Amino acid sequence: MNPRYGETRAPGRRYRRRPGVYAVLVQGDSVLLTHQAEPVPEYQLPGGGIDPGESVLRALHREVFEETGWRIAHVRRLGVYRRFAYMPEYDLWAEKICHIYLARPLRPLGPPVEPGHSAIWTPIARAAAMVGSPGDAAFLDAIQAGQRRAPVPAGVHRRP
């Protein structure tokens, strides 16, 4: 089972599984985040939902471009986590399955095309404190610490 970050499943509430893919985009000592203005202003790892029939990597490239305007390369899987969240833009409760990848930002092709998104470069040392998702923050902390695999949530132990 994938580790969970954030709120637990609420008893009696129905959740829709929502797979998504997100990127940690490091350049030097900075990381590229996206700022989503609505429905709630929040800094996030660039990424989003995987469309039906779409591959994880195709979705990653599409979402990063839509939310940041950047092209990426040298993509490597870091891990996966899940979280339970309300998604006001879809008016649904979701069990988000978040696939996290490390990638190198190559170049900007233009501004973000996703309405309400801005691409923001920030020092990696500050990024974990800025993002709204505890799972995203854990991956950012792990990258800053030099780890190249999925972080382990508190109370969870890896098998030797």
Sorted by where each starts, the structural domains of the chain and their CATH numbers stand as 16-144 (3.90.79.10)
Instruction: Collapse the DSSP code of 1 into the 3-class scheme (helix H, G, I; strand E, B; otherwise coil) and give the result.
Output: coil
The Cα 40–Cα 37 span in angstroms is 6
* 58-102 residue pLDDT tens: 999 999 999 999 999 999 999 999 999 998 888 999 999 999 999
pTM of the model: 0.90
Of 36, 79, 29, give the one whose Cα is nearest residue 56. Answer: 79
What would the pLDDT profile of 112-142 be if each residue is shown by its tens digit?
999 999 999 999 999 999 999 999 999 999 9
70 and 108 Cβ atoms separated by less than 8 Å: yes
- In total, the chain counts a number of residues equal to 160
Matching residue, tokens 């469309």: 51
What are the φ/ψ torsions at residue 141 (nearest 5 degrees)?
A: -60, -40
Strand partners, 30: 27, 123
6 Cβ contact list (under 8 Å, min separation 6): 83, 84, 85, 133, 134, 135
Retrieve residue 130's tokens. Answer: 């800025």
